[in-house]
Structure 1
Amino acid sequence: MTISAGTPFQFLDQDLLLLPQKAIYWKQENALIAADVHFGKVGHFRKAGIAIPRNMEQDDLAALSDLIYEFQPEKIYFLGDLFHSDINNDWDWFVLWRSQFPKVEIILIKGNHDIISDKHYTDLGIILHKQLQIGPFLMLHHPLADATQQAPGGYVLCGHIHPGVNLVGRGRQSVTLPCFAFGKNQAILPSFGKFTGRVAIISHKADRIFGVLKDKVIAIG
């Protein structure tokens, strides 16, 4: 199937495509980049007796599958919080999904929710890192503690805070959109998972903000 068109963004001499599925396609690396998928969060809440629709997890896996079929990436970089909790029933869905794309290299930058034993990941051929420098980018999970200071490994791509941007209309109606936030020294990606929530962020003058709508990504600032 053909997915919704993304927004091209040339940055640091790299060709990025910002996708409404809240991921990035990086042309030079033929790679997808996504943050904060939080697989297993639905199972975690259901295990605690909270009624959450089961199909939310499958929807995220289906969205990833569609991106793979569309772009045929060699690699997927996950910027932390791939799986939300300890092993639960949702892990079986993830294992099944992984088996469908054995040739795609999967690299996980471990986040604070990635508490499953490393062996579970490595048994699936998933490569683990605390941080990773690729080209001009330094891939992390957490944003820089001081965003005014440049990281020694390059421009940071990260997640963790599930960024959003608040838009106010002429009639004072407002909406908060998930967003890609490119600052001077780092870019914070929106959370890929549907069951993650989002927070509003403050946009500095140097920031490039791209809001995510259902079928497109729009430049806001």
Structure 2
Amino acid sequence: MVHELLGQRLVLIPEKGIFWADKKYLILADLHLGKAGHFRKSGIPVSDLIHTRDIHLLDQLIARFAPEQVIFLGDLFHSDHNQGWEVFRRWMKSKAPLRFSLVLGNHDVLDARNYRIPNLQVSETLCIPPFHLSHIPEETELYNLAGHIHPAVKLYGKGRQSLRLPCFYFGERNGLLPAFGHFTGTAKINIKKDDAVYAIADKQVVRVN
């Protein structure tokens, strides 16, 4: 599914990412790697396999789209340093010369030394006209693309059936990406008449507004 925005072609991927075709950038939000280890520290047994699945999926997207850069819109890593970060760090370095950019999110709390990877750039925000990329939605002169919210839309069937699905949201001045990580929740968003909303269902992206 392609969403045309400000003269740019954004390929909306059912794996919950955007391929900015004109720039050849792969954009993802909210992987929350290391969250399983964070839960285990609290005595809740959660397997790291859920994050292995996310990295494998990211590998597949890189192979499919051959991006010139991968941009993470925050919350790449969920918590304090643990072994999960070292696994991902080695994976990222193995992808050189592919470049990665991380726009820091509220969960990206690692010491700055951990982000010193040759092919990783870290910043608070990233401006690539016509877009301003951030983790938390912001009001800016450029059109803002962000994560953080984990947007979802609720669809209703005949009778009382309803289904909440992750979605891509594009309002007048702000767009939201769904959370890429599988170990994340969703939040229902308010939709206006002129907003563009694309739900993800059965490995397809479908426009619902």
For the aligned pair, the TM-score class normalised by the smaller chain equals over 0.9
**Preserved contact between residue 159 and residue 188 of structure 1 (Cα < 8 Å):** yes
Q: Which amino acid aligns with 1:122?
A: R
2:46 is aligned with 1:47: no
2:149 is aligned with 1:161: yes
Q: Once the two structures are superposed, what CA deviation does each residue of 1:152-210 show, in whole Å capped at 9, x if it has no partner?
A: 2x000001011100011112111100000100001011001000110111111121000
**Preserved contact between residue 167 and residue 178 of structure 2 (Cα < 8 Å):** yes
Question: Partner residue of 2:8?
Answer: 14
2:80 is aligned with 1:91: no
Matches within 5 A, 1:150-189: 151-152=140-141, 154-189=142-177
5+ residue gaps, structure 2: none
5+ residue gaps, structure 1: 1-6, 145-149
Q: Which amino acid aligns with 2:75?
A: D
Count, aligned residues: 209
Q: Could you tell me which of 110, 113, 117 is aligned with 1:119?
A: 113
2:174 is aligned with 1:210: no
Q: RMSD across aligned C-alpha pairs, in angstroms?
A: 1.1
The separation in 1 between residues aligned to 2:155 and 2:97, in whole angstroms, is 41
The separation in 2 between residues aligned to 1:123 and 1:192, in whole angstroms, is 22
**Preserved contact between residue 109 and residue 131 of structure 1 (Cα < 8 Å):** yes
- The answer to which of 176-185 and 198-207 deviates more is 198-207
- The answer to which of 110-119 and 94-103 deviates more is 94-103
**Preserved contact between residue 95 and residue 124 of structure 1 (Cα < 8 Å):** no
**TM-score when normalising by structure 2:** 0.96
The separation in 2 between residues aligned to 1:54 and 1:77, in whole angstroms, is 23
Q: Could you tell me which of 176, 194, 210 is aligned with 2:182?
A: 194
Q: Once the two structures are superposed, what CA deviation does each residue of 1:26-81 show, in whole Å capped at 9, x if it has no partner?
A: 11111100111111111111222101122101000011000001111110111111
Identity of aligned residues (%): 41
Deviation of 1:119 (Å): 1.9
Q: Which amino acid aligns with 1:213?
A: A
